[in-house]
Chain A
């Protein structure tokens, strides 16, 4: 069996929306309820601090999708595995989606806290650059018709853009004059959030990571379904 051959389970279209997606929806809904009504309001930032429970988990959900994109791109380049390319394409779309949420929610958060919708600060600029690279990846996928060439070129671009992620995350350590706050949870010392806020944050991170995984899975299954429809149509015409 070659690495590209598909099993009967792979070729049979699976439902795009399944239990995992509904579990993710329930988890995000629970996060919303807990963050809005059952989490104390922070003393200095007021209710606007609750944007944090959407903004930061969206970043991590985007990182997860970019991580899947990078790993699947390496797998594709290494094994020439068609499914890895499909999974990479699904992850790229979800990564762009979550980073769009990050940029929009971050902009609103900035307006409240900094008084400006946008500041050309290192982390913001690198995040915007990463989002543009993600959009570029999707545009490139649509522009190249030959599937083998498309998969190879896109895998290389994906690996190069995933390399940017550590720079985005650690950018607050690189420059002294930055406006972005230093990490309050993901840092070498213990988190500087009170327990009730920390618990809401962790639930939010878990629910957004689950949503990211569920959307990647759904998008992958949609691609499989489309490919099955294309194959059936071509089989009918032959």
Chain B
């Protein structure tokens, strides 16, 4: 078993990475939705 500080570091790394992956995927989806909605608004006004 590694020392406690390293092990705690690994555990916090996992929690941060999982949040970052889910967060960045959501952000990508939100930006794509904004782009699509802008396209829809422009096309609807024509």
Q: List 15 A-B contacts (CB under 8 A).
A: A13-B37, A16-B29, A16-B30, A17-B26, A17-B30, A46-B1, A47-B4, A50-B15, A101-B22, A111-B10, A222-B33, A225-B33, A228-B36, A229-B36, A232-B40
CB within 8 Å of B: which residues of A? 13, 16-17, 21, 28, 32, 35-36, 45-48, 50-51, 54-55, 58, 97, 100-101, 104-105, 108-109, 111-112, 211, 215, 218-219, 221-222, 225-226, 228-229, 232-233, 235-236
Fill in one digit per residue for B4-17: 1 if any A CB lies within 8 Å of its CB, else 0: 10011011011101
Give bound CA distance, A112 to B36, whole Å: 44
Give how many B residues have a beta carbon under 8 Å from the other chain's beta carbons: 28
**Given A13-B40, A228-B40, A229-B39, CB of A112 within 8 Å of CB of B7:** yes
List the A side residues contacting B46 at CB < 8 Å. 236
- Residues in B with CB closer than 8 Å to A101 are 17-18, 21-22
Residue of B nearest to A50 (CB): B11
**What 7 additional pairs, Cβ within 8 angstroms, besides A17-B26, A46-B8, A109-B14?**
A32-B19, A97-B25, A109-B10, A111-B10, A219-B29, A232-B44, A236-B46
State the Cβ distance, A37 to closest chain B Cβ, in Å. Answer: 12
Q: Which residue of B lies closest to A58 (CB)?
A: B18
A101–B36 Cα distance when bound, in Å, is 28
Q: For the complex, what is the distance from the CA of A21 to the CA of B40, rounded to whole Å? A: 23
Contact B14 A108 (CB under 8 A): yes
Whether B22 pairs with A211 at a CB distance below 8 angstroms is yes
Contact between B18 and A105 (Cβ–Cβ < 8 Å)?
Answer: yes
A51–B46 Cα distance when bound, in Å, is 53
